[in-house]
Amino acid sequence: MSTRRLRLVLVLLALAVLVPAALLVHRALRGAAAEQAARHRAVAERLFDEMERALSDLVAREEARPVEAFRATGAARIAELPPERFVLGYFQIEADGHVTTPLPPRDAEALRVATKWFALRDGDAADATTELRPKLEQAPGTTVSVEAAEPEQLRALGNMMKDEAARAPSKNAYDALQALNRGAEERSSRQRKMVAKQAEADAPAALREAPARTQSFGDQTAGAPAAAGIAPAPASPSEVAGGRRDEGAEGRRNGIAVAVDPLVGRLADLRHLLLYRSVFTDTEALRQGLVLDVEVLAAFLRERALGADRIPGATLSFSNDAEGAEPPGTSDGAHLYRHRFAEPFDAVIASAALAPLDGGSGAGVVYGLAALLVLTGGVGLFAVHRMVTVALGFAERRSNFVAAVTHELKTPLTAIRMYGEMLRDGLVPSDDKRREYYRTITAESERLSRLIDNVLEFSRLEKGTRTMRLTLGALGPVVEEVAELLRPHAERGGFTLRTEVEPDLPPVRFERDALLQVLVNLVDNALKYASRATLREIAIECRSHGDGVVLSVRDHGPGVANRHLTRIFEPFYRGEDELVRETQGTGLGLALVKSLVEPMGGAVAGRNAPDGGFEVKIALPRASL
């Protein structure tokens, strides 16, 4: 397999891994976003639930107040305003429109706003009957005319309208934002049951048989169960019809039944919220209620829900139907939620802005894991590419080595055989020619021996079976001795071998045989690559350098291309194409030099000399005696 094909396979493999990984990361990000949204939604719902509970307590308390408590006089009247500052005052509107207050309000203007709102809302009796005319005509079994309708009949028809409106689908998008919390559900469920009970019978029987809530004037026991949050149970029709008094359920005052509707909430203006209930007797219809300051109520709910920075970074704001509200979403990194309160506070909308909450596996964790996955996969693919590339390179170089060894063995063997056969058959007539052939046979035999020695030495080094027998001493005499052995070999190649050894060199550790093989390979390498040099000289120098000795072998050939300098000491590496190379060799010479020098504690480096040629330096450290 070629390197290009390997890269193509690895790219396809990377794509096959990255596409599913990207899909998994996308799904994980969506899941993390959904998890984060669910956590914020749960926190927002808890905030809204706390506010709903506070409003439920307020509604339960106010609905439990006796009817007579709203009278300006009497023992059962409201003794003082509640401690909540958002309650501005109480009022009662008589049938003739006269307004009474059980005690001085906190804000007299608020009561004037309530009175004006009721006056504009109700108008005169003609407006009221005009509004109810279609319902009177559609009510089954009703024969009472609009003009003759009694107050209790009007109330029953109004309850029918209210019941139909409750069943009709809402056209306001925020009506769908009902609180998924216990406080709102309890209050809404209680109110739906009351309205449904009031609409069960016809208009005359509604007041006598199934009132929503009845209390007795002058009887304070009727308010006790409601004060505990429990609605009084209605009396049976037989008990009401028989005139028997059931305390806490239904009462009479001088034979007059009293029916009380649940509290209804309406905005009088942007600042004031009215909570009122309708009270019906056989002879009159009243409205009783209280006025709330919306801004102060909002501050109370904010304190109830958030407390002393219970949720850092959370903010609450309030609006109403008149002001409108933006849909929920996110803004500046905050999560926004809207909540419409249950009746009778359904005109008020709460908005919660929550800062990103800590904890959980968010997008940062997903991105971190994705980055780790990409990094790990990239490193793995790079490692695979590197290992396979190196293995392919070694395989290719080994193949080239086999071809080179075959060539290197075939050439000297062919020369030795040819000259040997000529000498054997007496085809060489002169002694000079015979001596020449003997020299050629000897040189080719030495060349063959060096090749075999290099292969065997490298094999032992690669297997780790080569043992160095190091000696301590001066390197100069050994270098000069080896140079004398190599000088005839250099001269046969037409080169001059020059040696320069500095006296008094520091002692180093080395092996003579290894040093001999190192110098033989360096000189042989110089003879091959500098064969066309103008200056046919090979210099061997040995000098002290720093705290050691540097041995160098230099030629005056063309040198080595810069792109090959870092790889020339690798096994089987040759800078030339094996098919068109012009020099002999197996690619083992310099690799063997490095493998022999490093066990002696030295280092090898090659460079192109400034004035031409190639130079190999061997640095051996000074050895202590």
Angle, CA 195 vertex, CA 170 and CA 113 arms, to 5°: 75
Would the pLDDT of 370 be above 90?
no
The 3-class secondary structure across 152-200, one letter per residue, is HHHHHHHHHHHHHHHHCCCCCHHHHCCCCCHHHHHHHHHHHHHHHHHCC
Name the 3-class secondary structure at 423: helix
Identify whether the C-beta of residue 509 lies closer than 8 Å to the C-beta of residue 471: yes
Given this model, what pLDDT does residue 409 score? 77
Given this model, what pLDDT does residue 329 score? 54
Given this model, what pLDDT does residue 585 score? 60
Given this model, what pLDDT does residue 330 score? 54
Q: Specify the CATH number for the domain of residue 599.
A: 3.30.565.10
Identify whether the C-beta of residue 536 lies closer than 8 Å to the C-beta of residue 530: yes
Would the pLDDT of 53 be above 50?
yes
Does any domain span residue 492?
yes
Residue 255 — very low, low, confident or very high, per pLDDT cuts 50/70/90? low
Identify whether the C-beta of residue 479 lies closer than 8 Å to the C-beta of residue 519: yes
Does any domain span residue 520?
yes
List, for residues 563-576, the tens digit of each pLDDT value: 888 888 887 776 65
Does any domain span residue 364?
no
* The token pair that represents 134 in the structure block: 């279609």
Given this model, what pLDDT does residue 183 score? 52
Does any domain span residue 616?
yes
pTM for the model stands at 0.48
Q: How far apart are CA 280 and CA 258, in angstroms?
A: 6
Residue range 81-91: average pLDDT?
Answer: 90
Would the pLDDT of 275 be above 90?
yes
Higher per-residue confidence, 394 vs 485 = 485
DSSP string computed for 127-153: HHHHHHHHHHHHSTT----STT--HHH
- Which of 306, 340, 365 is the C-terminal boundary of a domain? 306
Higher per-residue confidence, 166 vs 480 = 480
Question: How would you class 556 by CB atoms within 10 Å of its CB: exposed for 0-12, middle for 13-18, buried for 19 or more?
Answer: buried
Residue 355 — very low, low, confident or very high, per pLDDT cuts 50/70/90? confident
Residue range 253-271: average pLDDT?
Answer: 81
Residue range 446-474: average pLDDT?
Answer: 81
Q: Indicate if the alpha-carbon torsion angle 62, 64, 67, 70 is positive or negative.
A: negative
Given this model, what pLDDT does residue 414 score? 85
DSSP string computed for 100-114: E-SS--S-HHHHHHH
Between strands 537-545 and 496-501, the pairing is parallel
* The token pair that represents 228 in the structure block: 């505990």
Residue 403, phi then psi, degrees to nearest 5: -65, -40
Residue range 529-542: average pLDDT?
Answer: 90
Would the pLDDT of 618 be above 90?
yes
Does any domain span residue 512?
yes
Q: How far apart are CA 45 and CA 309, in angstroms?
A: 17
Residue range 407-431: average pLDDT?
Answer: 84
- Which of 271, 291, 306 is the C-terminal boundary of a domain? 306
538: nearest Cα among 498, 486, 593: 498
Residue 7 Cα distances to 2, 14, 373, 385, 558, angstroms: 9, 10, 20, 7, 35
Calculate the average pLDDT of the chain. 74
Q: Looking at 16-25, 357-366, 487-496, 593-602, which range is the least confident one?
A: 357-366
Residue range 309-327: average pLDDT?
Answer: 69
Higher per-residue confidence, 161 vs 550 = 550
Q: Indicate if the alpha-carbon torsion angle 71, 76, 81, 86 is positive or negative.
A: negative
Higher per-residue confidence, 50 vs 464 = 50
Does any domain span residue 199?
yes
Residue 538 — very low, low, confident or very high, per pLDDT cuts 50/70/90? very high
Residue 276 Cα distances to 159, 287, 399, angstroms: 15, 6, 102
Given this model, what pLDDT does residue 77 score? 72
Does any domain span residue 319?
no
Would the pLDDT of 48 be above 70?
yes
Q: Looking at 114-118, 141-145, 186-190, 525-529, which range is the least confident one?
A: 141-145
- What domain range is 516 assigned to? 439-621
Residue type, 616: V
Residue range 432-443: average pLDDT?
Answer: 86
* Residue reference for tokens 């002999």: 584
Identify whether the C-beta of residue 412 lies closer than 8 Å to the C-beta of residue 442: no
Would the pLDDT of 6 be above 90?
no
Q: How far apart are CA 457 and CA 599, in angstroms?
A: 13
Given this model, what pLDDT does residue 145 score? 32
Residue 360 — very low, low, confident or very high, per pLDDT cuts 50/70/90? low
Domain total in the chain? 2
Residue 129 — very low, low, confident or very high, per pLDDT cuts 50/70/90? very low
Given this model, what pLDDT does residue 321 score? 63
Given this model, what pLDDT does residue 39 score? 84
- Which of 306, 324, 347 is the C-terminal boundary of a domain? 306
Terminal Cα-to-Cα distance of the chain (whole angstroms)? 54
Given this model, what pLDDT does residue 208 score? 37
Would the pLDDT of 609 be above 70?
yes
Given this model, what pLDDT does residue 608 score? 92
Residue 125 — very low, low, confident or very high, per pLDDT cuts 50/70/90? very low
Does any domain span residue 256?
yes
Q: How far apart are CA 611 and CA 556, in angstroms?
A: 8
Whether omega for the bond prior to residue 344 falls within 30 degrees of 0, making it cis, is: yes
Given this model, what pLDDT does residue 158 score? 42
